[in-house]
Chain A
């Protein structure tokens, strides 16, 4: 009698979900944010369809403000997987020069929320894989694996389809689309363990290193390129830092750390006492229901 480990069961479930989507939808795409969850999701896609390449493109909804290390890994990962890489930058945000320093919440809204909607509509994708996990945030805990969006990309938490056994109902009306979360049942620890077990390449920023930083509003920010407007008298300082979560570099807080290997990173995560998303400004800007509200508006 062979018992599957928890990682083997999670892997099998994610692969099963991906294969269902490919056979039951017309035009799927995988949203790829270059973070560690995306890295695991992409790896699972490669396994699900091996030796064929995954039969859908990767899409990065870009804000032009990601870390340089992320752009490097993004291009390499798509090449390695033999997949087409689509990059979408909201043309209106580009034209108006929307940036996190001057525009605050508008930055996320235009580049990410609007950008994502535009990209899905432009390519006519009817299913989009995302790397969200249910353990990340309270409203995610109740979201289905197959989550339906209206033609205007809205989410109605009161009107979700029941999801039984491993039978996914992917039927939808014209114009509607599905967000599919194959990592729903993974936790942050599962992700790290799987990255180690399968030797998955991740952005080096997750590991500690001396990097140029400034401290603002209690957040430690990395000066990743020369677009970072320094205040008068502000000098970037070298600190040993790493990131628990990756997004736009001006919005992503680093933690001071010396964890430079994967086991050390996991060790630090297990001993730490703050949750993963705390480094992100986005969850906090509208009180405690902010993520749910963002999702109803169409944020992933």
Chain B
């Protein structure tokens, strides 16, 4: 092992630990914390730098070092030298490939701060990982190989760091030892970077010439090799830079309510993490979106009530009045509450192999609120290499775009530039439950606020009572030719004979009128179902029993309609006919056309049918006649 390459550990005052542990502990009890990310490629010496930070802070123990030494000889890329990259690459597959493919978190501390480092990869296809690591970071260290200068990936990393709202950028010009510690080389890189940075809105950054391998300007600056450098060492800078919390704490108070604490009838508290501002007993708060106000009675913790609580603390707040407030609401300063809206312009970073489907319903989680959201076709996509805006119909894995987001009910939010907590959201696929995108809100599109809900005096309950029936939607789904329309028609006739008020919405008929502008692409099919769902909903508001007969092949869209309606009113009826049987019947001759290729996107042939997993009613048409099926459905609907 080449000990001479590594300086002695310097952050930890071993002498103080040995002589006066109590004084040492006192000092460390009141440290601050800084989270940062390192961006750079394998070749920029990123892992070496992180390895050095860990080593210098004595986060590497002797047994780990021994293992590292052995590994370095076996699979290392530094010859007989210590390969710090091995220390920070965790998973077996990655170690074999010699690359980091995920986000890893590292920890070290100095006397002034604890640091959490998100180690993120520099490869183009891993935008997703860098955005993930950056989302919790206060600062970004952008590594540059002094021999190469600014590369396309430097720009990409800087753009992403800026996009995710990191206001502190460190430009670490690494491998200075390999360019003879040449001041001109450093100055030129800084000049080039400044020019590019101002183009993307980065107004301030700190440039430091370093050598992760030799240790220059990591802990002490200037190093003997760089007497011309006048700035701080990397550690000095990380220890003293003023972090983002300051800005958040200066804002008006906001706390998304996570949980209502109700141990007994005498205690009711609202628990959450304060996202912005601060709060004290006696201050006026408003529950958003309801708008009700009250006064803070106390701030409760197990260690006693607090006089004051600030951004970043998890607390439980009691109010003077019994106001309605639950998970998803936001407690906010009464005189400056956040807005609520149901339509926004947002930046989206797509994180899934399955591309964005405009119009499809996704779960959107913002703070403690979860709602259904649909995304419009993107306004544009950003090329992360050139930063050009490109036309886009969708977003693929690792692409970044700007699009309108519409939620099924208003949510409380703030622009991301004001609040990282209330301006960020994730999108979740309703079927696979995967996190498919990260979003940052620019502003609301105010349409929701301009078109107020018209309160009507005759309610849906009145409509329903007058008709003496419970409204419902019988949603028939199944392959073309499965018998949906036939059975639906029989069901409606039987209901009519029982004096029930009904309406049958048939797929083919709707396409002649309401939806004549729509084709059969995936996006159009989704819009087709959305409109039918909205019409069905209006009809149930009018008290009707609605019967629909649409192929409706996608689970997500059927779930979207289910979520539009009050619980229990959506009754999914799966007309289950095997493809071979439906194709043999081929009443309209459509299967033949599709097989010939004259009809594109035909369900069952070149477009999938996603069977219902748990339909309320399933009809096996190979075992029942249409009349028996209709009777069976009526029996389920009106027992």
Contact = CB atoms under 8 A, between A and B. Distances in A.
Most buried by B among A6, A52, A293: A6
Interface stretch (A112-120, A168-176, A216-224): A168-176
Contact of A184 (B105, B132, B314): B105
Given A157-B91, A158-B93, A167-B426, A141 B301 contact: no
Contacts of A10: 33
B12 A50 contact: no
A12 B438 contact: no
A39 to B, nearest CB: 15
Interface residues of A, number: 71
B67 interface: yes
A288 B67 contact: yes
A19 interface: yes
B428 A50 contact: no
B329 to A, nearest CB: 13
A99 B637 CA distance: 60
B101 to A, nearest CB: 8
Contacts of A197: 29
B106 interface: yes
Given A172-B433, A173-B433, A266-B25, A50 B90 contact: no
Nearest to B66: A274
Given A138-B90, A193-B29, A19 B259 contact: yes
A124 B118 CA distance: 34
Nearest to A160: B102
B624 interface: no
A190 B63 contact: no
Interface string A1-14: 11111111111110
A51 B106 contact: no
Interface stretch (B39-47, B109-117, B340-348, B555-563): B109-117
B488 interface: no
A185 B258 contact: no
Contacts of A12: 273, 312-314
A293 B93 CA distance: 11
Contacts of B135: 164-165
B638 interface: no
B33 A9 contact: yes
Contact of A20 (B245, B258, B366, B425): B258
Contacts of B433: 169, 171-173
Given A1-B249, A263-B25, A275-B63, A141 B106 contact: yes
A10 B273 CA distance: 12
A273 interface: yes
Interface in B422-458: 424-426, 428, 433-435, 438
A75 interface: no
Interface stretch (B14-22, B399-407, B511-519): B14-22
Given A141-B106, A267-B17, A278-B63, A166 B351 contact: no
B60 to A, nearest CB: 8
Interface stretch (B213-221, B261-269, B375-383, B592-600): B261-269
Nearest to A24: B370
B308 interface: yes
A270 B434 contact: no
Interface string B506-542: 0000000000000000000000000000000000000
B114 A6 contact: yes
Interface in A146-166: 157-158, 160-166
A184 to B, nearest CB: 7
A23 B258 contact: yes
Nearest to B431: A173
A165 B249 CA distance: 17
Contacts of A84: none
B28 A193 contact: yes
Nearest to A3: B32
Contacts of A235: none
B394 interface: no
A22 B106 contact: no
Contact of B300 (A50, A167, A171): A50
Contacts of A101: none
B61 A271 contact: no
B420 interface: yes
B611 to A, nearest CB: 16
A263 B21 contact: yes
Interface stretch (A28-36, A41-49, A59-67, A204-212): A41-49
B186 to A, nearest CB: 32
Contacts of B64: 275
Nearest to B132: A162
Contact of B301 (A3, A7, A47, A167): A47
A187 interface: yes
Interface in B93-148: 93, 95, 102-107, 109, 113-114, 116, 128-129, 131-132, 135-136
Interface in A243-289: 263-264, 266-267, 270-275, 278, 288-289
Contacts of B29: 5, 7, 193, 197
Interface in B288-315: 300-303, 308, 310, 312-314
Interface string B312-335: 111010000000000100000000
B114 A190 contact: yes
B90 A141 contact: yes
A189 B109 contact: yes
B38 interface: no
Interface in B568-591: none
B18 A4 contact: no
> Shortest 4 CB-CB distances between A and B: which pairs?
A6-B33, A15-B314, A289-B92, A273-B62
21 contacts: A4-B33, A4-B313, A16-B258, A52-B261, A162-B129, A162-B131, A162-B132, A162-B435, A163-B132, A164-B131, A165-B420, A167-B367, A167-B424, A171-B428, A173-B433, A193-B28, A197-B29, A264-B21, A271-B17, A272-B61, A275-B61
Interface of B: 12, 14, 17-18, 21-22, 24-25, 28-33, 59, 61-64, 67, 71, 88-93, 95, 102-107, 109, 113-114, 116, 128-129, 131-132, 135-136, 245-246, 249, 258-259, 261-263, 267, 271-273, 278, 300-303, 308, 310, 312-314, 316, 327, 351, 363, 365-368, 420-421, 424-426, 428, 433-435, 438
Interface of A: 1-13, 15-16, 19-20, 22-23, 46-53, 134-135, 138-142, 157-158, 160-167, 169, 171-173, 184-185, 187, 189-190, 193, 196-197, 263-264, 266-267, 270-275, 278, 288-289, 292-293
Given A11-B314, A171-B363, A274-B62, 18 more contacts: A4-B310, A5-B31, A6-B32, A8-B312, A15-B314, A51-B263, A135-B106, A139-B90, A142-B105, A162-B128, A162-B438, A164-B132, A165-B135, A166-B136, A169-B365, A185-B105, A266-B21, A292-B91
